[in-house]
Amino acid sequence: MSAPASLPTRGNAVLTNLRLVDGVTPEPQDGLALVIEDGLIADVAAAAFVPASVASVDMGGAFVMPGLVNMHNHFSLSLPGPGGDAVSALGPHDLALYMADAARRTLLAGVTTVRSVAEKAGADFALRRAIEAGQVPGPRIRTAGRALCCTGGHGHDTDDTIECDGADAFARGVRSQVALGADLIKLMISGGIAGEHEQISTAQLTRDEMSAAITTAHAWGRKVTAHAGPSAVIAEAVALGLDCVEHGYALTPEVARLMAEHGTALVPTLVVTRAQAFFDDLGVPPWMQQRSLGAAERHLESFRHALDAGVEVLLGSDMPPYWAFEGTSAIVRELEHMQAGGLSATEVIRAATAGPARWLGDEERYGMLRPGLSADLIAMREDPTASVGALRTLDFVMASGVIVRDDRDGRSA
């Protein structure tokens, strides 16, 4: 008897009877089949030319689109309050298992790639290796490792940050995460909604500190993203070469135009200022709830300034993407907020698939459904190009050609 195999990491399949939303063409395409070999899309063929002898998966007329890419992910998120305290109290072994379960649930929610932007204790690197080896199920991981903050800065009280002070310390902080295998670098350049002794408007890094971190990261071929709220600190960081802004709670038209001119992307995480039910689930204290919910109107205005200026916006939930929230998942609510805020459904799809892949330098690996790219895809009963609310009917997930979820007609993968 042979030893049990690891989980499959690449699969073969032919998907037929589908309506294709490939991430490029603005409207669904009929009469096509996806031929998948060794985890990659080998062909997007006319269905009539697929031999009857080839075993196929009948998608029942479902809409098929690329898997989601969540650009603001935390498998080890711990907000103030009893729920977050329980995560922070986990030992290293319990934390690894907790994060592995979060990865599994994230994949089942239709997120086939994540960009983690601050995880605890370096466990994200071990989790990435385990997923790639087929030891545990989960999405493709691109990670920043631990984020860099100043002493007492945003996130300083959890194990997903490293406190640095001065330009040399921030340069060393960047190198320490690159040495572990970080794909990008995350900076905390201002306060936020989760820091009790700060405000969203609190500037936290000096110009020299930001410059040292960004210059060092770029020298090592890594992009830099930053947790940031106020417009003045964002403008300074953008001028220094910042590649992406997280949240951007208080952008002005002028700073949004500067971001567009420099090619700095925005991951707005609109759901985090509209998340009272989630906060209630975790027992988040009143001061944080008031700060978050009180920022919602300005946050949406900031998002619209970015759209008006032509800033590239990318999907990011910050909340666990799989969290049951307002009748769906947190990731779907974020997509719905993006559409309600001014993006068309087709633009939201691009911001959730091809756009993130391009930012991550992976546009030739995934993010669209075309030959040569990974067969990462999701399917749903309704048309996402009409409304991204169609993702509420998501019932099928495939990662690298492997079916990991199939709830159609009561089936399970």
Flag whether pLDDT at 364 surpasses 80.
Answer: yes
Q: Please state the domain count of the chain.
A: 2
Whether residue 251 sits in one domain with residue 160: yes
Q: Give residue-wise pLDDT tens across range 259-292.
A: 999 999 999 999 999 999 999 999 999 999 999 9
The secondary element (H helix, E strand) that includes residue 359 is helix 354-359
Query: d(Cα 91, Cα 217) in Å, to the nearest integer?
Result: 31
* Mean pLDDT along residues 340-359: 98
CB atoms within 10 A of CB 410: 7
pLDDT band at 50 (very low <50, low <70, confident <90, very high): confident
* Mean pLDDT along residues 107-112: 98
Query: d(Cα 336, Cα 349) in Å, to the nearest integer?
Result: 11
Whether residue 56 sits in one domain with residue 84: no
pTM, full prediction: 0.96
Whether residue 43 sits in one domain with residue 149: no
Query: d(Cα 149, Cα 345) in Å, to the nearest integer?
Result: 36
Flag whether pLDDT at 161 surpasses 70.
Answer: yes
Whether 7 is in a domain gets the answer no
Whether residue 33 sits in one domain with residue 144: no
Bridge partners, 62 (sequence order): 18
Helix (H, G, I), strand (E, B), or coil: what is residue 332?
helix
* Mean pLDDT along residues 126-145: 98
* Mean pLDDT along residues 243-268: 97
Whether residue 39 sits in one domain with residue 124: no
Residue 279: the pLDDT is: 92
pLDDT band at 200 (very low <50, low <70, confident <90, very high): confident
Whether residue 184 sits in one domain with residue 50: no
Q: For 263-344, where are the alpha helices, taking DSSP H only?
A: 276-282, 286-294, 296-309, 330-340
Tally of residues, the chain: 413
Q: What percent of the chain has pLDDT over 90?
A: 88
Whether residue 39 sits in one domain with residue 129: no
Domain enclosing residue 294, as ranges:
68-359
Whether residue 345 sits in one domain with residue 223: yes
Q: What percent of the chain has pLDDT over 70?
A: 97
Give the domain CATH number at 34. Answer: 2.30.40.10
Whether residue 43 sits in one domain with residue 112: no
Distances (CA, A) of 199 to 182, 221, 232, 278, 291: 29, 32, 14, 21, 9
Assess contact for 138 and 127: CB atoms under 8 A: yes
Give the domain CATH number at 134. Answer: 3.20.20.140
Assess contact for 93 and 126: CB atoms under 8 A: no
Whether residue 75 sits in one domain with residue 55: no
pLDDT band at 22 (very low <50, low <70, confident <90, very high): very high
Whether residue 81 sits in one domain with residue 224: yes
- Measure the CA angle with vertex 367, ends 184 and 400; round to 5°: 95
Question: Which tokens in the block code for residue 33?
Answer: 């089949």
Residue 53: the pLDDT is: 67
Residue 374: the pLDDT is: 98
pLDDT band at 411 (very low <50, low <70, confident <90, very high): low
Q: What is the mean pLDDT of the chain?
A: 94
Whether 2 is in a domain gets the answer no
Query: d(Cα 144, Cα 405) in Å, to the nearest integer?
Result: 28
